[in-house]
Chains A and B, each alone.
Chain A
């Protein structure tokens, strides 16, 4: 056991865990944030995607020790009121079916839009192929990312 300190969704937190424990289980079962999902445990499906210092890591294979002193963001921290442009686009298009993979999908898409505010279909493929959706909502995911990108640009436009 070791004391691990990180900032999660803007809050500093200290937990006492085995540093070998995957970040996924630390987030879900120690911190108690259940929005991040277990899907495969071997970085194949992306359901467990969270941001570690802004990067879309697969928390099922990321040891909690790697997050010591770092910044984590989970789906719960993406926006205050479920209103990140991606969340709004997901709602507008009714992307989810069962919904289980979408925390991970949205967290992956958030990195894409941060680095490329106006992605092409190919860019979306390059970013999102690591996230499996068994319900097959891929076409809507693509559409929602384009919609969110448009929304983000509008937002930027307004602020300027």
Chain B
């Protein structure tokens, strides 16, 4: 089925004449051309139908991005409505289906929703507004400059005459699409920059938001899969005699799903209910073939990484000056290893997906971060033409990178095709926790020399799995994200600097996890900087300021000092700081720790200062940074994925313990005001937390923590 303009009308519930505008941006080009639906049809391309206005004045916006908590459900309409001059509560939003041709890159990742498309979205709203004003001016036979738009109406300033948008859409849709429309000034914004309520909140307070697991389609069966506890095994054989005897069990089939360049096999029990499938799963006997890959334990991995760091030089990522020679000759140097653990995304909604394969067509519904990747991948894997693969996004109960992957939709699709019926595959929490892909655990050897209070040499070598390898490439190149999180201006001010990647592989599938490499790099680089500052006898924040020779960063640091009381710290208080950058935004954090009357370490306060440039909704930003800090707290002090004999050990929250309400310190968030390009907000708040915390603990106790996670109680 080709998703044409007509289908969009159907989806949106719109009928008859509409003004329908969008943009076509297959490469996610920054400035795309705004075009009308009819033009798109005549060009034979699938238009990015972002916004429709019908004759009743109803505005419908299609969101091309997944909503997983980060607020795009609100940010996209907020941007379009601003330029379109309509009230937010008059705007409907519909999740667009996955379609690469129509929307360009739809992946909700890299904190890119706003920063990647805001200019196009503003242009879109402004173009529609300009056309509606022109249509009104034509009707009144006046100059458009005498008219203005507000609250879904066009007004003629001199006479006070007005038209509702609905009365103008037919005329407007006949106009040429104007080029170079004038965008509003930031100071004139009514919606952007305001902490407006999110449009999806009400759906999430009474149980009406439909998440993937809530999706039902007629005739749908439920599948649960018996999976190999090891990460790469194959099904040798299975005995389904007992499982098939359970009333309600319809099929037992071998299944598989792609995990990057490998496939993971399992045996699916398909039944009339989730509960029945769970019972059948318990009595299904599967024999696995676990040959052909190493069955590693966590201790093996870190031992090897440590050895590699001591015995090998890595592939050069960044080399300037002669750090290695200075370090070799130095009489006094810092030479330390930082270790970060494997992590699991642990979204509250376990993975699940509905698929219906019928007559050569496949339709998918699920909590999906990257619908067009799913469309693309499954089209190729299952040999179904791309236009016959339709991917629908539901709300996501958390994503954090895990749901930007194709394995679970692939698995659902394979099962549906196999059994010839619509099916929802449901992963248990245990499936979700033990199948990966995980964030890789990376070790860093940091060597540095300080002379006369200055960094004379700075060398970081990392050893850990490279996600690119799993995507089938880059084995001869250093990890392209070897310094992600580390502020680039340091490269200008640290003359002798070497960053190297020691190649390291295991059979454990790895992938992006909220803030990706910055989440591990940030801990190593920012702790190491702290060690260098202490060695130099300098205040850690002032030391950073000396090396970050950019006005925007100085303003950020000044703000950090101001809000945290950095300079008026008292005795028996530990203050630590870290500043990281990723996805276009810089976040500085200050953590304050102390000991309570029983001598137990406690986190008294966290201050975060976010510089994300131009932004849409400050409340969403604060919510995201709060969430990042909580997630960072868990990753730093509570949980890690460990392996024993090739099997992930932690299977559920009883051992993979997440932060709870009792664990959360007071958090204050400040947003820098400037007009720089919009940066991401969903991830950049995470990396600085762990090093700011451990630096604060050093400040209080003199104890340097170089391995995550650590228990606060043990300090």
Contact = CB atoms under 8 A, between A and B. Distances in A.
Touch test A–B (CB under 8 Å): yes
Contacts of A40: 429, 652-653
Interface in B622-663: 623-624, 626-631, 652-654, 658-662
A152 interface: no
A98 B349 contact: yes
Given A34-B214, A135-B69, A136-B629, A94 B201 contact: yes
Nearest to A17: B275
B187 interface: no
B348 A100 contact: yes
A99 B661 contact: no
Interface string A134-151: 111111111000000000
Interface in A86-128: 86-87, 90-91, 94-103, 106, 124-125, 128
Contacts of B68: 98
A36 interface: yes
Nearest to B203: A99
B334 interface: no
B658 to A, nearest CB: 5
A127 to B, nearest CB: 9
A22 B275 contact: yes
B654 to A, nearest CB: 6
Contacts of A99: 69, 200-201, 203-204, 209, 211, 395, 397
Given A45-B653, A140-B623, A75 B206 contact: yes
For A106, A135, A142, the residue with the greatest tally of chain B CB atoms inside 10 Å of its CB is A135
B208 interface: yes
Nearest to B346: A134
Contact of A129 (B197, B349, B624, B661): B661
A31 interface: no
B198 A94 contact: yes
Contacts of A22: 275
A136 B630 contact: yes
Contact of B69 (A29, A87, A96, A131): A96
For A39, A78, A79, the residue with the greatest tally of chain B CB atoms inside 10 Å of its CB is A39
B9 interface: no
B201 A91 contact: yes
A137 B630 CA distance: 8
A95 B201 contact: yes
For chain B, what secondary structure do more than half of its interface residues adopt (helix, strand, loop), or is it mixed?
loop
Nearest to A22: B275
Interface in A1-52: 18, 21-22, 25, 29-30, 33-42, 44-45, 47
A98 B395 contact: yes
Interface string B194-231: 00011011111111111101100000000000000000
Contacts, number: 171
Nearest to B247: A1
B653 A138 contact: no
A38 to B, nearest CB: 6
A130 B631 CA distance: 17
Nearest to B209: A99
B661 A100 contact: no
Contact of B348 (A94, A132, A139): A132
Contacts of A72: none
B419 interface: no
Nearest to A101: B348
B536 interface: no
Given A41-B429, A44-B652, A97-B71, A135 B205 contact: no
Contacts of A95: 201
B623 A34 contact: no
A25 B273 contact: yes
Interface in B476-512: none
Nearest to A124: B661
Contact of B631 (A29, A91, A136): A136
A125 B69 contact: no
B38 interface: no
B205 A132 contact: no
A106 B627 contact: no
A45 B652 CA distance: 10
Contact of A42 (B67, B346, B399, B652): B652
Contact of B654 (A39, A44, A86): A44
Contacts of A67: none
B619 interface: yes
Nearest to A38: B213
Contacts of B348: 37, 39, 45, 47, 98, 100-101, 132-135
A125 B626 contact: no
A74 interface: yes
B661 A38 contact: no
Contact of A97 (B69, B653, B660): B69
B76 to A, nearest CB: 16
Contacts of A94: 197-198, 201, 619, 623
A88 B324 CA distance: 61
A18 B664 CA distance: 41
A96 B201 contact: yes
A39 B208 CA distance: 17
B662 A74 contact: no
Contacts of B400: 134
Contacts of A21: 275
Interface in B233-286: 273-275
B662 A37 contact: no
B296 interface: no
A82 B206 contact: yes
B393 interface: no
Given A29-B273, A44-B652, A134 B209 contact: no
A95 B669 CA distance: 16
A98 B211 CA distance: 9
A95 B659 CA distance: 17
Contacts of B666: 139
A9 to B, nearest CB: 11
A18 B271 CA distance: 15
Contacts of A96: 69, 198, 200-201, 204-205
Nearest to B397: A100
Given A25-B273, A137-B626, A33 B207 contact: yes
Interface string B22-34: 0000000000000
Contacts of B315: none
Contacts of B209: 99
A29 B398 CA distance: 22
Interface string B656-696: 00111110101100000000000000000000000000000
A87 B626 contact: no
A55 interface: no
Contacts of B326: none
A57 B588 CA distance: 41
Contacts of A135: 69, 348, 398, 627, 630
Interface in A63-85: 74-76, 78-79, 82
State the 7 A-B residue pairs at the shortest beta-carbon distance, nearest first. A35-B207, A136-B630, A100-B397, A99-B204, A98-B69, A97-B69, A136-B627
Given A87-B206, A139-B667, 18 more contacts: A38-B350, A45-B653, A47-B348, A75-B207, A82-B205, A91-B197, A91-B201, A91-B202, A94-B197, A97-B627, A99-B395, A101-B397, A125-B661, A125-B662, A133-B348, A135-B398, A139-B664, A141-B661
27 contacts: A18-B275, A21-B275, A25-B275, A34-B213, A35-B206, A39-B349, A39-B350, A41-B428, A45-B653, A74-B207, A78-B206, A86-B205, A90-B204, A96-B204, A96-B205, A97-B71, A97-B623, A98-B69, A98-B347, A99-B395, A131-B660, A132-B348, A132-B653, A134-B658, A135-B348, A136-B664, A142-B661
Interface of A: 18, 21-22, 25, 29-30, 33-42, 44-45, 47, 74-76, 78-79, 82, 86-87, 90-91, 94-103, 106, 124-125, 128-142
